[in-house]
Chain A
């Protein structure tokens, strides 16, 4: 045996210098003639179509979980609607327009005397763009940090595992994925008969970058987007009228009592409302844009006109150009990609999250789903509690809610106990001279378990986090009432509302 090991190698196999080997068959060419038995090197564990909140969060999470991941985004910048033309730029305009409005109208009683106050719209927009670009670049950095391949282009399905990408810089490439995530988001729903030019007839996108302050504005739709944009331009001097089909503003999810409160407060700020009113038609051919409206019941037809019309009647899933038909993937009657409880489409390796599928079109809901979808791929288990997703409207005062509303409970014949606490009785709100609004809590009368929290008031968007946590953990109103809250804070109003639900508030 030992001798066999001593056999010089050249007696067994002649050595051939590598450089003399010709290129016999290249790997891709070979694959046309034989089956590929190992994954090709460019096949990803996960390919994500869409670099918005759902897509980029999924990409980062997948990178953290060690998956080989590529993210396709056609906008040229990451962050999707939220970062580029949604949540983030609107918050910049809301915050700065509120400051401007406050300096104009709310300084004398605070002992501050201000001279000439002027608005520089170009700089207001520049501040917005600085916030946006800082955040979008931040995501690109996170992509690099987590090993995510970022493909700038428009992706469409070739087959169930291959996506063709028309690159933004020209040319085309394709990418294969063992798993694919559709996260293409949504777009503003247009109003039939009114062509959107983003100058006179605008969506929320145009409302974020108007070049001059319009004299008048009609807002079709009194939901969250419509009211936030109405607030911005009203504060800057535009005469705003909101036309809403329903009998309340804020959309169907907002608690009726809260909706009435905020409507009163916004009316005080100068906004006009036409509720229970439907828009019959629009005409943008004249100097002003005209809308023909009627009451929902009929018989009160009238014509309204304004320099600008904001169409804010909702958003619809965006799947144009995605090639869903190439893989036989159907959408429901509202264009949403149909998924199961694990975000799988009918092709189990293709999943979908965010605005393009079921559930409320909220960035934080999309983020939760993105993480859960990656956990399903990697660990076989993920979770989102759809009963504890907060909603926030960033007007002033803000409106925020989580869980069920009073009318939800009434409709389902669920017994409940209600407790409220007004900010006018809260010490911090008093010192801030910002006392509009209330906290309202709903709890089960027997178990005291929290069923819903509804806030209209300063910093409601931050305060709702406590309610969401309580709801997620299944807390009782007594649990909140017995938890120490710092004094003096707005959060004490939250505690006192819990006390009012469980027993009695101290300060009201």
Chain B
């Protein structure tokens, strides 16, 4: 009788389930909500309105958007204008010459002839069109 009770107690003891459980290797959840939420240590548990992503008020103008936008690197302005005056606020002469500096070209067609694509000769056209047969004709 006593032995049975002792055995039962031992069995109950062996079956005690610890509250620490083995969870296995961690995995990154398949879907994560990335919308801004208050930081757990934030004193008031709130986020300012400016945290709402893609808010249209983030940029006051297209020019301001373009200053900050990224497309594999920042989009750069070609003309520097003073913030105070805005576009057109400065005289044309103050902006400097619109010509490309020496050694710079807007388009490959403006390059000296030796740097352009070599003109295709009639023989080459014929060779291409005949699949090379014209070379042996």
Contact = CB atoms under 8 A, between A and B. Distances in A.
Contact of B104 (A16, A29, A340, A475): A29
B106 interface: yes
Interface string A321-341: 000000010101000001111
A11 to B, nearest CB: 6
A274 B8 CA distance: 60
Contacts of A43: 73
B19 A340 contact: no
Contacts of A33: 78, 100, 104, 106
Contacts of B111: 24
Interface string B97-137: 00011011110000100110010000110011001110110
Contact of B42 (A358, A474, A479): A358
Interface in A357-387: 357-360, 379-381, 384, 386
Nearest to A336: B43
Interface in A405-451: 447-449
B15 interface: no
Contacts of A360: 41
Contacts, number: 135
A479 B18 contact: yes
Given A340-B47, A346-B50, A348-B53, A159 B131 contact: no
Interface in A208-245: none
A3 B136 CA distance: 10
Contact of B72 (A23, A37, A348, A474): A37
B97 to A, nearest CB: 13
B69 to A, nearest CB: 10
A478 B17 CA distance: 11
Interface string A458-484: 000000000000100111101100100
Contact of A3 (B32, B114, B133): B133
Given A33-B106, A379-B28, A340 B39 contact: yes
A36 B48 contact: no
Secondary structure of the B contact surface, majority rule: loop
B71 interface: yes
Contacts of B101: 29
Contacts of A162: 74
A339 B36 CA distance: 9
Given A3-B133, A36-B73, A380 B68 contact: no
Among B19, B36, B47, B70, the most chain A Cβ lie within 10 Å of the Cβ of: B19
A118 interface: no
Given A24-B103, A159-B68, A358 B39 contact: yes
Contacts of A328: 50
A486 interface: no
B20 A474 contact: yes
Nearest to A359: B41
Contact of A11 (B38, B115, B123): B123
Contacts of B73: 31, 36, 38-40, 43, 176
Nearest to A345: B51
B104 A341 contact: no
Given A7-B132, A13-B118, A332 B43 contact: yes
Nearest to B70: A161
Given A24-B115, A161-B74, 11 more contacts: A22-B103, A159-B74, A161-B70, A330-B48, A340-B47, A341-B40, A342-B36, A358-B41, A380-B28, A380-B32, A449-B19
9 contacts: A33-B106, A37-B71, A38-B72, A39-B73, A343-B39, A344-B36, A380-B34, A381-B29, A479-B18
